[in-house]
Amino acid sequence: MRTRLVLFDIDGTLIRTGGAGVKAFAQTAEHLFGCPGGTERLRFHGRTDLSLIREFFRLHALPDSPVEVERFLTAYLHFLDEQLGRNRGEICPGVDSLIRALRQIPDPPKIGLLTGNVRLGAHLKLRAHGLADEFEFGAFGDDHENRNELARLALAKARQKWPGSGQGSEVLVVGDTPADIECARAIEAHCLAVATGGSALAELLEHSPTLAVETLEDLAVEQLLDPGVKADRITDWESLYQAGDTRWDKGEAAPGLIDFLARHTGVQGQTVLVPGCGRGHDARAWARAGAEVVACDLSPRAIEQAQSYPVEGGSIVFETRDFLSKSTQSRQFDWVFEHTLFCAIAPSQRAEYVSAIKDVLGPGGRFLAIHYLQPQDLNGPPFGVTVKELRRWFESDFELVDHWLPRSFPGRVGRERMFLWRRAR
Ligand SMILES: [Mg+2]
């Protein structure tokens, strides 16, 4: 079902304030209520402002009344404004491009806020990062102290504003903590969990969100519009091969690979895996250099066509299989070469991709890749990637031997970068 409404959490999801909110809470506790360090025991992640204030009152046996809450909030907002001016903070990675991409969709989903911040606090935080005008409505921490109730309220507000705006399953909650996942579940909405805030990806996954990503950069807009869809089925590669709609296939091996093999003559007799091989042009270039090649692709039609070309030099075994599926990896290779796979899979599958590459390369094994770089285009494939992101993905298990600008097909000149990694021992 298509997403009609996207509800964003603020802290750790859209922006990181460098702790401005936590510091403003502490200042209020100290200067207004005479409790220095009085908020140190509070756990802030995923909480609503109101629930934090009430917990603070309880911990210090202070009277809890609407007047006292109001007094707290007035001082808090003053300190928050001051802290936001002092702390630089940042927009979380991928937020700008995601919002831009959402706006470009024909009949785009409505975008709102579902946040534990009180309305004015939310405004101050978003204004500090130029995001204050991006959201059409919201449910805020002064509407209710329970986040699940806030989710119900956000949904009710949306339905009132746009009658027929949807069932829970047409709603996507985007947040950075288990509390965000839980409140999505409370309204039977989908949840996209992002690990840019209070929780690591592994912790978020334990709470079974619909989707979970390290950063919002690791996301395709199609997934946001249909979060239930299997990411690798965003593109039906088999249908494209059957229809002959294979514009990415230039009918020959990548120029960057040809040049590399001309320079590196030592691959004779070595084993090479070429995942996402398509019609096998790159695999045949490795075979011509004398390598023993296994090449695989998801599409049976692509493999059938790959097998119809003559092979010179070494050998090639073509296989129809999903490189990302753990159950199909059965051996290790000296080399993995890739050209059009990393950019073709959904960015949220990149963790699986890195894990699959690790599985098929023993210590010292080499991973040679031609990556499609900027512009980052969430409406891929191809999905771009930056050198910084590539380093983040591979650096812990691979040593970067070299990277360079390769010779490219016309139309891709300057947009590709070639990387040679060695699997760490
Ligand atoms: Mg948050």
- Chain length of the chain: 425
Q: How far is the CA of 118 from the centre of ligand 1 (A)?
A: 13
Q: How many CB atoms lie within 10 A of CB 375?
A: 9
Q: How far is the CA of 328 from the centre of ligand 1 (A)?
A: 38
**Local confidence pLDDT in tens for the 425 residues of the chain:** 688 999 999 999 999 999 999 999 999 999 999 999 989 999 988 899 999 999 999 999 999 999 999 999 999 999 999 999 988 899 999 999 889 888 888 888 999 999 999 999 999 999 999 999 999 899 999 999 999 999 999 999 999 988 877 677 899 999 999 999 999 999 999 999 999 998 988 888 888 888 888 889 877 777 788 776 654 455 788 888 988 888 889 999 999 999 999 999 889 999 999 999 999 999 999 999 999 999 999 999 999 999 999 999 999 999 999 998 877 667 999 999 999 889 888 777 888 899 999 999 989 999 999 998 865 555 567 777 878 888 888 999 999 999 999 998 887 777 889 999 999 98
Cβ pair 113, 138 in contact under 8 A: yes
What single letter denotes the amino acid at residue 8? Answer: F
Angle, nearest 10°, between helix axes 20-31 and 119-127?
Answer: 130
Q: How far is the CA of 377 from the centre of ligand 1 (A)?
A: 26
Q: How far is the CA of 166 from the centre of ligand 1 (A)?
A: 24
Q: How far is the CA of 59 from the centre of ligand 1 (A)?
A: 23
Q: How many CB atoms lie within 10 A of CB 387?
A: 14
pLDDT of residue 412: 76
Q: How far is the CA of 47 from the centre of ligand 1 (A)?
A: 8
Q: How far is the CA of 13 from the centre of ligand 1 (A)?
A: 6
Q: How far is the CA of 60 from the centre of ligand 1 (A)?
A: 26
Give the closest residue to 154 by CA, choosing from 140, 167, 142, 166.
140
What single letter denotes the amino acid at residue 161? Answer: K
Q: pTM higher than 0.95, yes or no? A: no
Tell me the two tokens of residue 360: 């098929």
Q: How far is the CA of 171 from the centre of ligand 1 (A)?
A: 18
Residue in the block written with tokens 């020959």: 252
- CA dist 383 and 381 (Å) reads 5
DSSP 321-356: --TT-GGG----EEEEEESSSTTTS-GGGHHHHHHH
pLDDT of residue 231: 47
CA distances from 69 to 28, 32, 132, 404 (A): 11, 12, 25, 59
Q: Where are the alpha helices (DSSP H) in 207-271?
A: 221-225, 237-243, 255-263
221 SS3 class: helix
Structural domains in the chain?
A: 1-229 (3.40.50.1000), 239-423 (3.40.50.150)
